[in-house]
Structure 1
Amino acid sequence: MRTVSLFWRIFSLNAVVLGVATGVLLLAPVTVSARVVLTEAVVLVTGLAIMLVANAALLRIGLAPLDRVARRMTTVDLLRPGHRLQVTGHGGVAALIRTFNEMLDRLEQERATSAARALSAQEAERRRVAQELHDEVGQSLTAVLLELKRAVDAAPEPLRQDLRGAQETTRESLEEVRRLAHRLRPGVLEDLGLVSALTSLATDLSAHSGVTVRRHFEPRPSATSQETELVLFRVAQEGLTNIARHADATEVDLRLAGGPEGTTLRIRDNGRGTGDSPEGAGIRGMRERALLVGGDLAVGPAPSGGTEVTLCVPAIREEG
């Protein structure tokens, strides 16, 4: 039956049921009067019920592969690739399953390509905005600070206090602009490496939110590309930002471990956890970044409460 088309499979199942029913009527000592009596009606209704049940059971068995395809269609997630249906036989249903699996392959490849282009454009735009903030807005605020300093030195005492307040507000705005530019363009990552960039992220989180961050950084493998380090940094940045905004946590454990098989980043907090809430744009963005470098991102409850984010990125293999 696995080598025939779906049409002939259903036709054969119905033919078997009707043939068995016909044979029973021919061989069984059952007659129908001109006016059907009660016993004959009971026999006919019972036979019809048996035939319908047998037909339904056989059809369920024959259409089971289509049910599996339908269930996979409702649960497929392109951000969790690799889940495929098993292909058995060579009939029409097997061809349908193979086509469905090939469609998933194409969709995952197209999504990965489009996500890589989008994230590359996003990083380029972040660098441009950060450069403009540093060069244009930062320099303008620095010039304002210098003008305010000269005004404070030359102003009389009643006006001097107001100018000092404006000077302090401008200084805070300049620091905020520098912090935004630092978040948009991780200069520490480019200049000093991943460990220093993660240390800077942890320090900023503790300074602005009061959360205690424990850092555990182990040696990283040598086969780590700049793209991989950028993905690790962005995932850590997004994870720490989510903790500061939503977790209500007081402690965070930030770990980076490396080995011959790859690099593992883990962020664990003692906050309220994610519960049953669906994944937001931040987590899905982290999954897209992880797929760009062949990584696997897991988000779930931490052993002692809170949330745990784990990113595992395989090491780069040298060919030949």
Structure 2
Amino acid sequence: MSLFWRIFGLNALVLGTAAGVLMLAPVTVSASVLLAEAVVLVAGMGVMLVANAALLRVGLAPLERLTGLMTTVDLLRPGQRLTVPGTGDVADLISTFNAMLDRLEAERAASTGRALSAQEAERRRIAQELHDEVGQSMTTVLLELKRAAERAPDSLREDLRRAQETTRESLEEVRRLARRLRPGVLEDLGLVSALTALGTDLAGHTGMRVERRLDAELPALDPDVELVLYRVAQAALTNVVRHAAADRVELSLVRTGAAVELRVADDGRGVGATREGAGIRGMRERALLVGAALDVTRAPGGGTQVVLTVPAGGRPRAEAPDGGRDPSAVRR
């Protein structure tokens, strides 16, 4: 039944019922309407309007649910669908909307996959240039400063040594940036070692206490899934440093039934009512690529916790985000 005939039928039902009640009820209307007759007519009209409103509310409820979903749907939170109520125009509309969401989510995942693939390739290129070009140039400068300090008079030797120390610190920072851009530990030693190094690096540079709980008995994960877990942990820890004002952060990776759960929790100021920033949206995009669920909530003891739950098998993309790492890479 079309929407027009559905509304027409509801109104006809109400009006027909009211007419039947008036015909069967012992109610008469004088040429000059008496007060009692006016009360009966007004009461009957009120009952008719209330019944009509209730029936229309029931009949149009699917459209209200559809409108509500349209205003709140988020492609980074897949699976938001409406139940199709039988057949008819409204059912066709809801089915079409559900199918549109399927297409949009698939297209969003594909486009995000291509963008992240390009991003990872650019990260590798920049990391390689930092290591090969900038790193080697700074190493050469460091050696020249050392030789100059050995030959310089005493009045200049201390200044040259300070310049040498500054150059050494800058070289170490360049190497650290290259490691963040291209996680070589992840490729060579596996996810647990990479997360361990990530926590150690954070503690060393910020002084924050990092508590690690990393399960060594994890199921075999696709390299793409490992990269998503690593990048989400990296982004979550970066958010802690930038926004949380925390003293302690917990980094855990454990197996929970048929899934692997990554959790980053801090004791900072906690999540507010503001909209999600680019960091969290980026984490959601990565989670979407492997069929994972990402939750950002307030930690039980205060602060913020980020929980990424990935099915044990994962759902790898057709194109690897890291340019196709060797799946046989050594894992710890």
Same fold at TM > 0.5:
yes
Structure 1 gaps, min length 5? none
**Number of equivalences:** 313
The equivalences for 1:154-303 within 5 A come to: 154-258=151-255, 261-303=258-300
* Counterpart code for 2:216: P
CA contact (8 A) 1:195 1:217 kept: yes
Q: Secondary structure at the match of 1:81?
A: coil
1:30 matches 2:28:
yes
Structure 1 residue 53: deviation in Å? 2.2
Residue in 2 that maps onto 1:20? 17
> Cα–Cα, structure 1 residues 38 and 259, in superposed 2: closer, same or farther, change >3 Å?
closer
TM superposition score normalised by structure 1: 0.89
Question: Residues 99-142 of structure 1: CA distance to partner in whole angstroms, max 9, x if unpaired?
Answer: 12111111111111111111111111111111111112112222
CA deviation after TM superposition for structure 1 residue 275, in Å = 3.3
User: Shift of residue 20 of structure 1?
Assistant: 2.9
2:47 matched to which residue of 1? 50
- Quote how far apart the aligned CAs of 1:284 are: 1.8
The change in CA–CA distance for 1:23 and 1:260 in structure 2 (over 3 A counts) is closer
Deviations 1:47-106, CA, capped at 9 Å, x for gaps: 433332222221111101111111112222222212221122112211222112111111
Counterpart secondary structure, 1:241: helix
For 2:88, give the aligned amino acid: G
CA distance in 1, matches of 2:178, 2:305: 28
| Residues in 1 aligned to 2:48 and 2:255: alpha-carbon distance in whole angstroms | 64
Aligned-partner residue type, residue 139 of structure 1: Q
Ranked by relative contact order (alpha carbons within 8 Å, sequence separation 6 or more), the top structure is 2
- Partner SS, residue 128 of structure 2: helix
Gaps of 5+ in 2: 315-332
Q: Residue deviations 1:128-167, cap 9 Å, x none?
A: 1111111121122222222222322232222333322222
- CA drift of 1:297 comes to 1.6
Aligned partner of residue 310 in structure 1, secondary structure: strand
Amino acid at match of 2:85: T
For residue 19 of structure 1, report the CA deviation from its aligned partner: 2.3
Q: Secondary structure at the match of 2:212?
A: strand
Q: 1:102 aligns with which of 74, 99, 107?
A: 99
Mapped to 1, the partners of 2:213 and 2:75 lie a distance apart of: 32
Q: 2:220 and 2:256 mapped to 1: Cα distance? A: 10
Letter in 1 for 2:218: P
Cα distance in structure 2, aligned partners of 1:225 and 1:24 = 71
C-alpha distance 30-242 of structure 1, shift in aligned 2 (>3 A): same
Deviation at 1:251, TM superposition (A): 1.9
Instruction: Give identity over the alignment, percent.
Output: 67
Q: 2: CA distance between counterparts of 1:87 and 1:211?
A: 51
